[in-house]
Amino acid sequence: MNVSLVWFRDDLRVADHPALTAAAGDGQAVALYVLDEVSAGIRPLGGAAHWWLHHALVDLRQELDALGIPLLLRRGAGLDMVTAVATELGAGSIRWNRRYGGPERTVDAEVKLWAQEHGLHAESHQANLLHEPWKVTTGAGGPYRVFTPFWRTVSAHDFRAPLDAPDPGHGFAGELPHGDGLQDWGLLPHTPDWAQGLRESWTPTAAAGHERLEGFLAERVADYSEARDRPAINGTSGLSPYLRWGQLSPFQIWAALGPRRRELAGSNGPGVFATELGWREFCWHQLFHNPELATTNLRTQFNQFPWRDPANDPDAAAQLQAWKQGRTGIPLVDAGLRELWHSGAMHNRVRMVVASFLIKNLRLDWRLGEAWFWDTLVDADAASNPANWQWVAGSGADASPYFRIFNPVTQAKKFDAEGRYTTHWIPELLTGAYPEPIVDLQETRREALDAYASIKD
DNA sequence: TTTTGAGTTGTTCGA
DNA sequence: GTCGAACAACTCAAA
């Protein structure tokens, strides 16, 4: 009887999991999750991500238990852990769903090489992107750099139907190698326990993700194209963390969206929402072709941009701190950053506003904001987070023109006219104890335009 | 090879 | 209050 080791990564689900389905077909399956924050180039997870991961693993273990498949946990370098467990288990094959970051692909290639050298079958499967990044090129043969033609090409394809979870009865019943205890990983915060807001805001299980998807499709997707811009109402899908951790797959969402998912006419809700899946694909496309996306400007003229430096400029350092803590004196900006700190998420439109404020009004490097989001968001992934920060900065693919500078006061008037969102997160707006703005919006806007003009050519 | 049309999410100013 | 133009050219994708 062949025993297959299924290496789980950012795909913490049992349905539409091609590696798990194939392993069940092989004979007997054992699941392994490796918390790898030490392999070369791998980015350690942020605090909010650790919180979500802990609960997602508890949930995954329950779902696998129902199939009779054991889940082992190991912490360390992916190559060392996977090869050790495969050896101890006497596995005949190792299977996983593909990932697309540079350091991660290096690790996976090393595991595949080790398997070949040791006579094991090793196979990767497509699960987390609708379309493999290397399979789509422009007419000239290169990667797309503009979203619209990218999505026009990709979305014209037919994507496979999502898979059901495998039938029970394919779990490995022999003696298992040892695994770590999840509690011993210390992923949950204590002293202080800052996760109260996360617990109030999220149920980090696959079942909750499916419920959220069903509720969104039944009640809200029709109004999505308008409602998603208003932060005080429940107009967005709220599915991003479930996609981030793979508790939902893009194939499941694509299938559930139904036949109008390719239509954009008349601000069709399913079509507009499908383009958000398209942006996720486009971000991973960018990361695949630019592994340094989180650290390097895609447009190299931005290497000369005159950022203010918190390390040498006390005013800049204080303003960065005020931004993180939601005390800039700009209500929409502060509301967004307080929402982030409380809930581990931020409304999509407000993300653009706070990013524009950091980059353009405070003239602080987009990488500083990207790092804060990486640490505090439950949905930050290695592609979408840096790609979107570069988009706001103007340094990235399909970047917004440099003169497009959000005015957070104007944005609040347009999208939160009654101030419901801002007063929810900033109650002192009503008592008058709220601080003055830390910068003048008009003056810093002009300075940003000058700074952008200075790097032309 | 050259040409052409287009490019997520904005703001301000002046008529 | 409302509307259109200016903002600045450049890069990209495809014909």
What are A202-235's pLDDT values in tens digits?
A: 999 999 999 999 999 999 999 999 999 999 999 9
Looking at domain A1-127, what is its CATH homologous superfamily? HUPs (3.40.50.620)
Can you tell me which residue has its alpha carbon closest to the C1' of nucleotide C6? Answer: A403
Protein CA A454 to sugar C1' B15 (Å): 32
What is the tens place of the pLDDT at every residue in A8-60?
999 999 999 999 999 999 999 999 999 999 999 999 999 999 999 999 999 99
Neighbours of A301 (CB within 10 A): 14
Burial of A330 (0-12, 13-18, 19+ CB in 10 A): buried
Q: Which residues touch strand C (CB under 7 A)?
A: A 138-140, 142-146, 149-150, 152-153, 401-403, 449, 453, 456-457
Which positions on chain C have an atom < 7 Å from some protein CB? 7-15
User: Closest by alpha carbon to A366, among A406, A396, A346, A321?
Assistant: A396
pLDDT value, residue A432? 85
Q: What is the pLDDT of residue A264?
A: 83
Q: Protein A168 CA to nucleic acid B9 C1', in Å? A: 46
- What pLDDT shows up at residue A267? 82
pLDDT, mean of residues A112-117: 98
Query: B11 C1' – A64 CA distance, angstroms?
Result: 53
A139 against A172, higher pLDDT? A172
DSSP character for A390?
A: H
> At a CB cut-off of 8 Å and minimum separation 6, what does A192 contact?
none
C-alpha span between A338 and A417 (Å, rounded): 19
d(CA A403, C1' C4) / Å: 18
Which residues of chain A are in CATH 3.40.50.620 domains?
Answer: 1-127
CA of A145 to C1' of B4 (A): 18
Nucleotide nearest to A299 (CA to C1'): C11
Distance CA A89, CA A19 (A): 18
Nearest nucleic acid nucleotide to A349, CA to C1' distance: B9
Verify if strand B has an atom below 7 Å from the CB of A146: yes
Task: At A128, list the tokens.
Answer: 């987390």
Q: How confident is the model at residue A301 (pLDDT cuts 50, 70, 90)?
A: confident
SS3 state of residue A69: coil
> pTM of the prediction?
0.97
How many angstroms separate the CA atoms of A99 and A105, rounded?
7
Q: Specify whether the CB–CB gap between A24 and A170 falls below 8 A.
A: yes
Strand order in the sheet with A27-35: A71-75, A27-35, A2-8, A93-97, A121-125
CATH 1.10.579.10 matches A300-452: yes
Kindly tell me if the per-residue pLDDT of A414 is higher than 80.
Answer: yes
Q: Quickly give A438 CA vs B13 C1' distance in Å.
A: 26
The string of pLDDT tens digits covering residues A253-267 is: 999 999 999 988 778
Q: Whose C1' is closest to the CA of A229: which nucleotide? A: B9
Is the torsion defined by CA of A102, A386, A279, A209 positive or negative? positive
Position A402 scores a pLDDT of 78
User: Could you give the CA distance from residue A281 to residue A361 in angstroms, rounded to a whole number?
Assistant: 30
Per-residue flag: A397 CB under 7 A of strand B:
no
User: Could you tell me whether strands A71-75 and A2-8 are parallel, antiparallel, or unpaired per DSSP bridges?
Assistant: unpaired
CATH 1.25.40.80 domain extents, chain A: 129-158+206-289
pLDDT in the model for residue A327: 97
- Cβ neighbours around A400 below 10 Å, total: 15
Structure-block tokens of residue A302: 């931005």
> Which of residues A320 and A139 earns the better pLDDT score?
A320
Q: Which nucleotide lies closest to A142 by the C1' atom and the CA atom?
A: C13
Tell me, in Å, how far CA of A289 is from C1' of C4? 40
Name the residue with the least CA to C1' distance from nucleotide C14: A139
CA of A156 to C1' of C14 (A): 17
| Rounded CA–C1' distance between A455 and C8, in angstroms | 13
Q: Distance between CA A155 and CA A407 in Å, rounded?
A: 34
Specify the 3-state DSSP secondary structure of A122: strand
How many other C-beta atoms lie within 10 A of the C-beta of residue A427?
10
Q: How far is the CA of A449 from the C1' of C6 (A)?
A: 15
Structure tokens, A205: 């299980």
Cα angle, residue A24 at apex, residues A21 and A28 outer, rounded to 5° = 155
CATH code 1.10.579.10 region(s) in chain A: 300-452
Q: Of all nucleotides in the shown strands, which has a C1' nearest the CA of A278?
A: B8
Residue A261, CB, strand B, below 7 Å:
no
Residue A400 CA and nucleotide B3 C1' are separated, in Å, by: 25
- Kindly report the average pLDDT of chain A as a whole number: 95
pLDDT of residue A272: 93
Chain B positions within 7 A of any protein Cβ atom are: 6-12
pLDDT at A1: 66
* Tens of pLDDT, residues A360-399: 999 999 999 999 999 999 999 999 999 999 999 989 888 7
Q: At what angle do helices A384-393 and A269-289 cross, to 10 degrees?
A: 90
CB A347 under 7 Å to nucleic chain B: no
Nucleotide with C1' nearest the A403 CA = C7
CATH number of A129-158+206-289: 1.25.40.80
What pLDDT, in 10s, does the model give residues A423-432? Answer: 999 999 999 8
The CA distances from residue A215 to A25, A235, A343, in Å, are 33, 12, 20
- pLDDT category of residue A72 using cuts at 50, 70 and 90: very high
- How many Å from the CA of A174 to C1' of B5? 64
Name the nt closest to A153 by C-alpha to C1'.
C13
b/e sequence A277-287, b meaning 16+ C-beta within 10 Å: bbbbbbbbbbb
Q: Could you tell me the distance in Å between the CA of residue A131 and the C1' of nucleotide B3?
A: 31
